[in-house]
Amino acid sequence: MSTEFDIAETLDVKGASCPMPVVKAKAAIDDLAAGDVLEVLATDPGSVSDIDGWAAGTEGVELLDQAEGDDVYTHYVRKTA
């Protein structure tokens, strides 16, 4: 997948561990409009599976892509409804 998205907001949760990346991502996505993309920056390796599971189990949220680089995990989540 491409990591070229029109980012509406970036959420920096570096240093936070489970479940905070998901908790804060949910709060941030709730404030966005349908179609907006949230970029989440995390250092917790568990955020990869946590955010994937949250998006898969949450109506109105779509995980677009995840990337790892320089000890930072970047997640792109779209609000669909």
Residues taking part in catalysis: 18
Q: Which 3 state secondary structure label does DSSP give 32?
A: coil
Distance of alpha carbon 1 from the chain centroid: 15
Burial of 4 (C-beta count, 10 Å sphere; 0-12/13-18/19+): exposed
